[in-house]
Amino acid sequence: MIKEFEHYLDFWLQGQRKGFAGDLPRTRLEDGSKIVFLRKHPLLYVDRWYGSDSGGGQTILYKSIGMQDSESPLKIIEGTPTSVIPIARLGYSGEIVRRFTEEEMEKLRKTFGDTSQSDIIWRVLKAALSKVERERPLRGPGQVIFIEFPGFKYISEEKHSGDNRIIGEEIISFAGNSCFSGNYDFALIKKNLEDKLN
């Protein structure tokens, strides 16, 4: 992980586990996106995503100046440019790349109940992302073979890692066949290369 981000890592991991992958309250916005917030003064973690079978979103970690616990997180991030300072951004996107056969769905209903393929994939993805660790804090671990979801496997691989940026890919497969493909891009947010994170 980028050394300069270490100071924020514990809070970031908490957000990753409790946000999309966890049980933080979700708010549906007018544009159809969903958003979750986690805050611990002066930090604010915001995760917002769109879509279902194909979609994406972004997670931004902010440092707020003068943030009050009673203030709405939406008002905080819509505030003046000097009231919140973005520290890091994680963009991600993905799509379901293969439909399950009727035979596969019959088997999967024994584990997941009567639900859609989309819901099955998102449950598996959330389970993988909830296992995020300090060594790989952006998405899920390098590999997860699920005991609770037989036949599913999650793989995440960092393809590029630079001074201020990490780019990676993630795949979910079922019975050896890829069924979800995604990518992610993490960057520290700085005005100038010489800037240090606050």
- Look over the chain and give the mean of its residue pLDDT values, rounded to a whole number: 88
For 130, the domain range is 3-188
Cα distance between residue 148 and residue 163, in whole Å = 37
Q: How far is CA 8 from CA 42, 45, 157, 162, 168, in A?
A: 11, 11, 22, 18, 21
Cα distance between residue 150 and residue 102, in whole Å = 17
What's the pLDDT tens digit per position in 91-136? 999 999 999 999 999 999 999 999 999 999 999 999 999 999 999 9
Kind of pairing between the strands at 27-28 and 43-51: unpaired
For residue 67, pLDDT beyond 90: no
State the maximum Cα–Cα separation within the chain, in Å, rounded to a whole number: 57
Residue 94 lies in a domain: yes
Q: Which two tokens stand for residue 111?
A: 């584990």
Percentage of residues of the chain with pLDDT beyond 70? 87
Q: Which two tokens stand for residue 136?
A: 């790989």
- How high is the pLDDT of residue 141? 94
Of 109, 115, 114, 108, whose CA–CA distance to 172 is shortest?
A: 108
Residue 177 lies in a domain: yes
Residue 122 lies in a domain: yes
Residue 193 lies in a domain: no
Type of residue at 45? Y
Number of separate domains in the chain:
1
Structure confidence at residue 193 as a pLDDT band (50, 70, 90): low
pTM above 0.75, yes or no: yes
Give the number of other Cβ atoms within 10 Å of residue 127's Cβ: 17
**Residue 40, φ and ψ in degrees, nearest 5:** -150, 105
